[in-house]
Chains A and B, each alone.
Chain A
Amino acid sequence: MLLDKIIRFFCSLRLTVVCLALGMLLVLVGTLAQVEMGLYKAQNEFFRSFFVFWGPRGADWKIPVMPGGYLVGGLLLINLVASHFKRFRFSRSKAGIWLIHLGLILLLLGQLLTDMLSRESSLHLREGETKNYSVADRQVELAIIDPTDPETDKVVSISQSALRSQSEVRHPELPFTVRIQHWYGNSIVENRATNSAAAPAASHGLGPFATVKELPPVTAMDRRDVPSAIVEFVGSQGSLGTYLVSEYLEQLQPLRTPDKVYQVVLRPRRIYKPFSVQLLDFRHDLYPGTQIPKNFSSRVRLMHPERGEDREVLIYMNNPLRYAGETFYQASFDPDNQGTVLQVVRNPSWLTPYFSCILVGIGLLLQFAIQLFGFTLKRRTA
């Protein structure tokens, strides 16, 4: 029967061995690939994927050549769970093995959860500045802002994946359609003189004063792609103009509709929080008489009106602020020492690796003790 065959496949020890071997190969190849691809891309292509694809340089087709991290890890997890249920019966003599397996399952599940749920972002603050959002490191959003309310801004944010993959975005909150005419994954924006022969990037906003060129994706770890896009806004009475939006162009560009003036900007994706953080002071201490850094620290004011909280916190190396499920690490600073960059990590499953290791450790000890106890008992009776 087919179901039997499937179950047998997922429970087989062979699958375990193949998965472990593939896992080792994947780690080796994925590590070597970082030389060419850079850490971020290699991570995505080898470990955060179901298949690793390959294609000749310059060709626009690719074939899967080996299973990716998700597939190997997923199969291993299924294999472990399935064979555990099929082969193992709980008995006191195997309690240790049960614990070890439970720990391994938790480890694999925890990694999966971390991958799916954890979120890293950055919070850049100048001294005196207050923010209630952090920004994603490698993702942008097209923010269309309605600033008419004097107190608040209404923001319609279109994600990078939508900009990259869709040609048109409509939303009930927008009285116009957003047509993505061109998406540049990595780009350079140049000034364009008014008498230049080069075609302007777009018709409205900063578009007539700029040209945009596509660049190949960068691979170095300390560099990143700078995306741009040409978007057209089309209202009920026709086009409202084309705009060049780019991470280079930090200014909000006015978008005029018959009713009101919106503002558009392509900016790092913002992650808003129910509390705000103000940088009171950033310190970059040096060892006396040298340029060797001794300490970096940020004294911040944490304000959470709903909880009635308003307190000062000192964040420095190895002493992050853990608050509301997020951890704020001292990550970097501005060259003039008057601004700080905090890395903000949300990882709801950050405790699972600790639990799994404890479980595996206890399991190993227990199993060893059971074996030892049984062995000595046997010898004594013999």
Chain B
Amino acid sequence: MAQILDKPRCVLGTLLIAALFSAGCGREEVQVYRVAKDQKAAGSTRQHHPGDGHDHSEDAVPGLAYKLPAKNWEEAPPGEMRAASFRVKGEGNKTADVGVFPLPGMAGSDLSNVNRWRGQVGLPAVQEEELAKLAEAIEIDGSKAQVYDMAGENPGSGEKTRILAAILRKSNVAWFFKMTGDEDFVASEKKNFMSLLASMKFQGAARAASLPPDHPPLGAATGTLPPDHPPIGGAAAAGQAPSGAGENAPKWEVPSGWKEASPGQFLVAKYTISGDGQAQAAVNVSMSTGDGGGVAGNVNRWRRQVGLDEKPVEALGLKKLDVNGGQATLVDLSGTDNRTNQKARIIGAIVERNGETWFYKLMGDVPIVEREQDAFVKFVQSANYPNAPR
């Protein structure tokens, strides 16, 4: 009798468990919901027109605030690729178009962008050394930017055209501010264009997206995770780049006394070197496909890390160093570490090869860097790169 009673009870138990297993297997593949538009970290002063197609959320081009410089300047729907658009009206139906274009990464060098714009007004291309002379320095929300003024004849329409363009590289975003229109009209509005640039403020997410100091150079190669994305595992940075090189790391001879450390999300390798007391220095190795933002861009990035001003390429004091299969660029910088406010020195080496650029940086306490500089140079020279041209 007990045996007969057991069966249904057993079957019931089994079914119950099977049901539990099968529950919760299917999560909805498409969901629809309505949510309030996202709040910004700081109150944006940007003026919106309801339903104008502007993005009001933080994921849109992050918090850009500005002041319209004159009454004849008005906001226009931003359209594709733009963070903001303006229409400038003048006498005799003259108009000019102003756009703000943020592009992730470095979005090409200044030279290639300027030459593209010059082509649009029928001007010949210029070389790197002429570029510095054409640039007008300006500050946008505390960051240095360059303004270029180009006028000529539009090769398509034959109209006299002027382009005013500013390039600002901030965090991992290249911002382009461009005004295009009739040559004389744009010239007469240049003052207002400059005031608009001076009034620009990046807010909220744009600041959050700033890269950690050890982030490899952004060039052609890398982007960042959205600023909202939380760090994964031990990484404590708000913006992250993926690994692409870990598996193809070069082989090198590591000097004695260098301790291997977890390279984290951004680096191919990391070593720490201890000195007296708490003094420390670190060697970071990273890689980027392409030119990784160029030598000047990266040396200037390092300069900022030790509180030095940016300089044009010819004033950077670059030296050459023989390495496996070519030459490297070597730089030596002393200043004050942004993060610790302690005296710090950087010795950096940039090796360009096979469409990749390798960045080596020894940074830290001045006496340690002094002591380790020869070992660092030997380390860079010892690198044996994998045959992985991309």
Is B90 interfacial (CB 8 A cutoff)? Answer: no
- A70-B21, A158-B29, A250-B59 given; A190·B230 CB < 8 A: no
Residues of B within 8 A of A131 (CB): 38-39
A191–B39 CB distance below 8 A: no
Is B257 interfacial (CB 8 A cutoff)? Answer: no
| Closest Cβ neighbor of B233 among chain A residues | A222
Interface residue ranges of B178-211 to A (CB < 8 Å): 204-205, 207-210
In the bound assembly, the distance between CA atoms of A209 and B107 in angstroms comes to: 8
CB distance from B153 to the nearest CB of A (A): 21
Please report the total number of A residues contacting B with Cβ < 8 Å.
100
Is A101 interfacial (CB 8 A cutoff)? Answer: no
Is B106 interfacial (CB 8 A cutoff)? Answer: yes
Residues of B within 8 A of A191 (CB): 103-108, 219-220
Is A25 interfacial (CB 8 A cutoff)? Answer: no
Residues of B within 8 A of A145 (CB): 57
Q: Which of B6, B32, B228 has the most CB of A within 10 A?
A: B228
Interface residue ranges of A109-138 to B (CB < 8 Å): 109, 112-113, 116-117, 122-124, 126-133, 135, 137-138
1/0 per residue, CB under 8 A from B, across A342-360: the answer is 0000000000000000000
Q: For chain B, which range describes its interface: under 10, 10 to 19, 20 to 34, or 35 or more residues?
A: 35 or more
Q: Which of B21, B41, B246 has the most CB of A within 10 A?
A: B41
Is A301 interfacial (CB 8 A cutoff)? Answer: no
A334–B238 CB distance below 8 A: yes
B242–A157 CB distance below 8 A: no
1/0 per residue, CB under 8 A from A, across B348-372: the answer is 0000000000000000000000000
Residues of B within 8 A of A290 (CB): 278
CB distance from A358 to the nearest CB of B (A): 22
- A226-B242, A334-B208 given; A135·B34 CB < 8 A: no
Q: Which residue of B56, B59, B225, B233 contacts A248 across the interface (Cβ within 8 Å)?
A: B225
Which DSSP category, helix, strand, loop or mixed, fits chain A's interface?
Answer: mixed
- Pick from A79-87, A306-314, A370-378 the stretch touching chain B: A79-87
Interface residue ranges of B13-68 to A (CB < 8 Å): 13-14, 17, 20-21, 23-24, 27-42, 50-51, 53, 55-57, 59-62
Residues of A within 8 A of B219 (CB): 191
In the bound assembly, the distance between CA atoms of A153 and B234 in angstroms comes to: 34
A272–B23 CB distance below 8 A: no
In the bound assembly, the distance between CA atoms of A132 and B34 in angstroms comes to: 13
- A132-B36, A221-B233 given; A186·B278 CB < 8 A: no
B231–A332 CB distance below 8 A: yes
CB distance from A102 to the nearest CB of B (A): 13
1/0 per residue, CB under 8 A from A, across B207-226: the answer is 11110110000011111111
In the bound assembly, the distance between CA atoms of A335 and B231 in angstroms comes to: 11
- A190-B221, A251-B59 given; A78·B14 CB < 8 A: yes
A248–B104 CB distance below 8 A: yes
A124–B230 CB distance below 8 A: yes
A126–B41 CB distance below 8 A: yes
Residues of A within 8 A of B314 (CB): none
Interface residue ranges of B267-319 to A (CB < 8 Å): 278, 289-290
A109–B20 CB distance below 8 A: yes
1/0 per residue, CB under 8 A from B, across A246-257: the answer is 111111111010
Q: Which residue of A124, A152, A162, A225 contacts B229 across the interface (Cβ within 8 Å)?
A: A124
Is B152 interfacial (CB 8 A cutoff)? Answer: no
Q: Which residue of B7, B13, B104, B229 contacts A251 across the interface (Cβ within 8 Å)?
A: B104
Residues of B within 8 A of A166 (CB): 29
- A339-B208, A339-B238 given; A169·B30 CB < 8 A: yes
B29–A155 CB distance below 8 A: no
Is A150 interfacial (CB 8 A cutoff)? Answer: yes
In the bound assembly, the distance between CA atoms of A276 and B35 in angstroms comes to: 12
Is A215 interfacial (CB 8 A cutoff)? Answer: yes
Is A3 interfacial (CB 8 A cutoff)? Answer: yes
Is A362 interfacial (CB 8 A cutoff)? Answer: no
Is B336 interfacial (CB 8 A cutoff)? Answer: no
CB distance from A256 to the nearest CB of B (A): 8
A129–B35 CB distance below 8 A: no
Is A60 interfacial (CB 8 A cutoff)? Answer: no
A268–B229 CB distance below 8 A: yes
B30–A155 CB distance below 8 A: no
27 CB-based A-B contacts, threshold 8 Å: A81-B17, A82-B14, A85-B9, A86-B6, A124-B238, A126-B207, A128-B41, A135-B229, A153-B35, A154-B33, A156-B32, A159-B31, A162-B30, A169-B29, A186-B242, A188-B222, A191-B219, A206-B104, A215-B244, A216-B247, A222-B232, A249-B223, A250-B205, A254-B80, A267-B226, A276-B39, A335-B213
| 15 further contact pairs, Cβ within 8 A, besides A171-B32, A220-B243, A332-B231 | A82-B10, A128-B42, A129-B204, A132-B35, A155-B32, A155-B33, A157-B30, A162-B30, A171-B30, A187-B242, A191-B106, A215-B242, A224-B233, A261-B53, A333-B236
- Which A residues lie at the B interface, using CB under 8 A? 3, 7, 10-11, 70, 74, 77-78, 81-82, 85-86, 109, 112-113, 116-117, 122-124, 126-133, 135, 137-138, 145, 147-159, 161-162, 166, 169, 171, 173, 186-191, 193-194, 204-206, 209, 215-216, 218, 220-226, 246-254, 256, 261, 263, 265, 267-268, 272, 276, 290-291, 331-336, 339, 341
- Which B residues lie at the A interface, using CB under 8 A? 6-7, 9-11, 13-14, 17, 20-21, 23-24, 27-42, 50-51, 53, 55-57, 59-62, 79-81, 102-108, 112, 116, 204-205, 207-210, 212-213, 219-238, 242-244, 246-247, 262, 264-265, 278, 289-290, 340
